[in-house]
C-alpha cells in the first residue's frame, strides 16, 4: 500500500516517535510510506488572534526558506521519505491508498484532499486542547475520518464527548531500544522522573514529592531527564539534558522507581519505557496506564486528584524492596505482552485493508 502520514511539524515528541515507529515498520513490511510536513507551521490558534504566534509562523517560514533552519530529519532512525511542502493540497500529494492525519490541524487538511489520494484516517494521540483553540480541536473529531485511538481513555472520550466511534490500537514499545538484560537493584532505590513544559505533566508535584522523599531518606538519589530543564529544581536532583535513546535506556535501567505525576495523557509512553527496562512505576492512573499496567501487581497506580498517593507509593517501595523487585519484574513481563509493536502494525494493516475492501 501507498501510505501517507501528515504531521504538523517534525519535532522531538512522544507522538512523533510513534509516527516514526509506524512509518519505519510499515516500510519494512513492503509498504511505500511518505511523511508530509508543511514549511509554514499550522496556526494552532486558528480563530484567535495570537500576535506572538503569527510572528513565529512568519519568522520560521522565512528562516526555513533561507536555509537558516534545517529540518531535524535525523532525530531518529528513518527508512521512509519526508516531503516538506509550502501547503498541503491535491497538487502536491501523490495518489495513494491511505492518508493518516496525526493531529487536529492535519485532520482538516486530510479531510479536504481528494479521495484519489487514499482512504482517510485520523490517528488521535491525545485530546490536544493545550496550546490550541479548543473549538477547532473539538471540531476535528467530528470530521468524516476513520478514527484510530491509542488508549481506552481516548476511545471512551471520543464516544462519550463527541459520539464518535474509533478503533483502539494500543501503541507498541521498541524493545530493541528499551530493555534491561542485567537488572541491578539499588539500596536505597534510585528515583527517576521527567521534566516537561506542559502543565498537564504536573512536574511541580513531582518536585515536591521527591523533595519530601529526600528529607526522609537523605541518602537516596533523584534523577530527572528532559529536552531541557523547564522547572527550577533543588540541587540534589541530577538533571540529564536532551539525552540519546541509549543514554535514556541506561538511565531507566539504573533507576528503581519511575515517578509519573501526569494529570492527563493520551497514552503515556515514559512509564511503559521504564517498565520495559525493569524500573517500577509509581504513577497516576491516566492515559493508557490502565491498559498496560495492573495496580499492585505490575505498577502502583494512583488517583490523579490525590498526590499523597504518589508519595505514599514511593515510600512503600522504598520500605518494601521485595515488593519493588516483584513489581519491577512483573511490570516488564506484562508490558512486553500488552505493548507489542508487531501486533499493533498487524492491527493497523487489517484496519486499512478492511476500509479498502
Which of 79-88, 281-290, 312-321 is predicted least confidently? Answer: 79-88
Q: Domain spans of the chain? A: 2-172+340-356, 191-338
Please determine, for residue 315, whether its predicted confidence score (pLDDT) is greater than 90: yes
Fold match flag (2-172+340-356 vs 191-338): yes
What digits encode the pLDDT tens for the residues 231-259?
999 999 999 999 999 999 999 999 999 99
C-alpha cell at 83: 516531503
Q: What is the pLDDT of residue 48?
A: 61
What digits encode the pLDDT tens for the residues 86-121?
889 999 998 999 999 999 999 999 999 999 999 999
Q: Which residues of 247-279 are buried (b: 16+ CB within 10 A; e: fewer)?
A: ebbebbbbbbbbbbbbebbbbbbbbbbbbbbbb
Please determine, for residue 49, whether its predicted confidence score (pLDDT) is greater than 60: no
Indicate the fold that domain 191-338 takes in CATH: Rossmann fold (3.40.50)
Contact predicate 249/277, CB 8 Å: yes
Three-class DSSP category at 321: helix
Please determine, for residue 12, whether its predicted confidence score (pLDDT) is greater than 90: no
Q: What is the pLDDT of residue 60?
A: 65
Instruction: Kindly indicate the confidence band of residue 131, based on its pLDDT and cuts at 50, 70 and 90.
Output: confident
Q: What is the pLDDT of residue 53?
A: 59
Indicate the fold that domain 2-172+340-356 takes in CATH: Rossmann fold (3.40.50)
Alpha-carbon distance of 283 to 279, in angstroms, equals: 12
**Bigger pLDDT: 307 vs 131:** 307
Alpha-carbon distance of 184 to 188, in angstroms, equals: 12
| Average pLDDT along the chain | 92
Q: What is the pLDDT of residue 76?
A: 83
The count of C-alpha atoms lying within 13 angstroms of the C-alpha of 175, restricted to the half-sphere facing its C-beta, is: 18
Please determine, for residue 192, whether its predicted confidence score (pLDDT) is greater than 60: yes
Span 65-77, mean pLDDT? 67
Contact predicate 104/137, CB 8 Å: yes
Residues of the chain above pLDDT 70, percent? 91
What residues form DSSP beta bridges with 146?
Answer: 121
Angle at the Cα of 123 from the Cα atoms of 119 and 125, rounded to 5 degrees: 175
Alpha-carbon distance of 101 to 36, in angstroms, equals: 10
Amino acid at each position: 500500500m501507498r501510505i501517507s502520514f501528515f504531521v504538523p511539524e517534525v519535532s522531538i515528541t512522544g507522538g512523533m516517535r510513534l509516527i516514526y515507529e509506524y512509518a519505519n515498520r510499515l516500510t519494512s513490511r513492503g509498504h511505500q510510506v511518505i511523511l508530509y510536513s508543511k514549511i509554514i507551521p499550522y496556526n494552532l490558534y486558528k480563530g484567535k488572534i495570537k500576535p506572538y504566534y503569527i510572528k513565529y509562523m512568519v519568522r520560521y517560514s522565512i528562516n526555513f526558506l533561507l536555509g537558516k533552519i534545517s529540518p531535524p530529519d535525523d532525530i531518529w532512525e528513518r527508512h521512509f521519505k519526508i516531503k516538506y511542502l509550502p501547503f498541503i493540497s491535491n497538487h502536491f500529494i501523490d495518489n495513494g491508498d491511505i492518508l493518516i492525519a496525526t493531529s487536529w490541524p492535519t485532520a482538516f487538511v486530510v479531510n479536504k484532499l481528494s479521495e484519489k489520494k487514499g482512504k482517510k484516517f485520523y490517528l488521535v494521540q491525545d485530546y490536544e486542547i493545550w496550546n490550541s483553540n479548543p473549538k477547532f480541536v473539538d471540531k476535528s473529531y467530528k470530521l468524516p475520518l476513520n478514527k484510530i485511538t491509542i488508549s481506552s481513555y481516548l476511545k471512551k472520550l471520543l464516544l462519550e464527548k463527541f459520539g464518535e466511534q474509533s478503533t483502539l490500537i494500543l501503541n507498541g514499545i521498541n524493545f530493541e531500544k528499551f530493555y534491561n538484560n542485567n537488572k541491578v537493584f539499588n539500596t536505597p532505590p534510585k528515583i527517576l522522573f521527567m521534566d516537561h513544559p506542559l502543565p498537564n505533566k504536573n512536574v511541580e508535584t513531582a518536585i515536591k514529592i521527591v523533595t519530601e522523599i529526600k528529607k526522609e531518606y537523605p541518602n537516596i538519589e533523584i534523577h530527572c531527564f528532559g529536552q531541557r530543564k523547564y522547572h527550577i529544581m533543588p540541587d540534589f536532583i541530577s538533571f540529564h539534558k536532551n539525552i540519546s535513546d541509549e543514554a535514556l535506556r541506561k538511565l531507566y535501567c539504573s533507576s528503581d522507581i519511575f515517578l509519573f505525576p501526569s494529570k492527563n495523557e493520551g497514552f503515556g509512553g515514559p512509564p511503559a519505557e521504564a517498565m520495559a527496562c525493569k524500573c517500577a512505576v509509581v504513577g497516576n492512573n491516566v492515559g493508557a496506564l490502565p491498559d498496560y499496567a495492573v495496580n499492585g501487581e505490575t505498577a502502583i497506580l494512583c488517583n490523579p486528584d490525590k498526590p499523597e498517593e504518589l508519595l505514599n507509593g514511593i515510600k512503600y517501595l522504598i520500605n518494601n524492596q521485595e515488593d519493588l523487585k516483584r513489581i519491577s519484574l512483573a511490570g516488564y513481563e506484562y508490558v512486553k505482552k500488552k505493548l507489542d509493536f508487531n501486533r499493533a502494525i498487524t492491527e493497523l494493516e487489517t484496519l486499512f485493508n478492511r476500509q479498502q475492501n
